[in-house]
């Protein structure tokens, strides 16, 4: 059992290296097996094809990102920092991949092979944001009644605004600047004082 877990980890690490180096289409199962130091037979015992490997990598990446986002939302920091850190935890690795030499291809494959995972995590993240805004409202960090919004509506609106700051070719640095500005606007718009919105 432990050998299988180790082999699986080595396969995923090898695939990450090769997808980054060559892109998805040029990396073969044979290449992945060689990079992982395994036979092709051992590789096929773990994964049917490279699509399965890619999907597992995407699932692991998203699970890790969502865990970090949830942790950021629960931190004892000002609301703006919690919100910014949560979005960065969820998005920065994706932005890094998109900016890589094979980023366009990898993003296309993400959409083709893992679109359902992304949609599910988008809903999960929206639910997390709803809880964050509800807690912030209860703690008087924001005033949802003043802007006639529920926590769920504020979360949905924020997510729509987030999709607009990505843009093609955006770098991590540009994304972080845009995100910081968006968070300030959002938190101020939800009735936070200037000091809380910073």
The CATH number for 4's domain is 1.10.10.60
Same-domain pairing of 20 and 98: no
Can you give the residue range of the structural domain that contains 180? 61-197
Same-domain pairing of 43 and 130: no
pLDDT digits (tens, 9 = 90+) for 123-168: 999 999 999 999 999 999 999 999 999 999 999 999 999 999 988 7
Same-domain pairing of 115 and 24: no
175: domain CATH number?
A: 1.10.357.10
Show the DSSP H helices in the chain as ranges: 2-22, 29-36, 40-46, 50-73, 79-99, 103-138, 151-166, 172-189, 194-197
Expressed in angstroms, the distance from the first to the final Cα of the chain is 50
Same-domain pairing of 170 and 143: yes
Residue 21 lies in a domain: yes
Residue 55 lies in a domain: no
Q: Which two tokens stand for residue 85?
A: 């850190």
Its pTM stands at: 0.90
């Amino acid at each position: 059992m432990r050998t299988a877990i180790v082999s699986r980890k080595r396969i995923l690490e090898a695939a990450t290296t090769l997808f980054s180096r060559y892109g998805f289409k040029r990396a073969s199962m044979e290449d992945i097996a060689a990079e992982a130091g395994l036979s092709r037979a051992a590789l096929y015992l773990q994964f049917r094809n490279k699509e399965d490997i890619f999907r597992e990598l995407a699932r692991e990446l998203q699970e890790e990102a969502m865990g970090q986002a949830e942790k950021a939302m629960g931190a004892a920091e000002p609301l703006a920092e919690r919100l910014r850190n949560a979005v960065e935890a969820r998005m920065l690795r994706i932005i890094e991949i998109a900016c890589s030499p094979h980023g366009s291809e990898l993003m296309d494959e993400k959409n083709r092979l893992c679109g359902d995972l992304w949609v599910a995590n988008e809903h999960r993240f929206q639910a997390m944001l709803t809880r964050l805004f509800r807690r912030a409202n209860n703690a008087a960090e924001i005033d949802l009644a003043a802007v006639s919004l529920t926590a769920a509506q504020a979360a949905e609106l924020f997510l729509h605004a987030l999709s607009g700051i990505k843009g093609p070719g955006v770098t991590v640095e540009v994304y972080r600047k845009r995100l910081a500005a968006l968070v300030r606007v959002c938190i101020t718009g939800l009735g936070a004082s200037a000091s809380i919105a910073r």
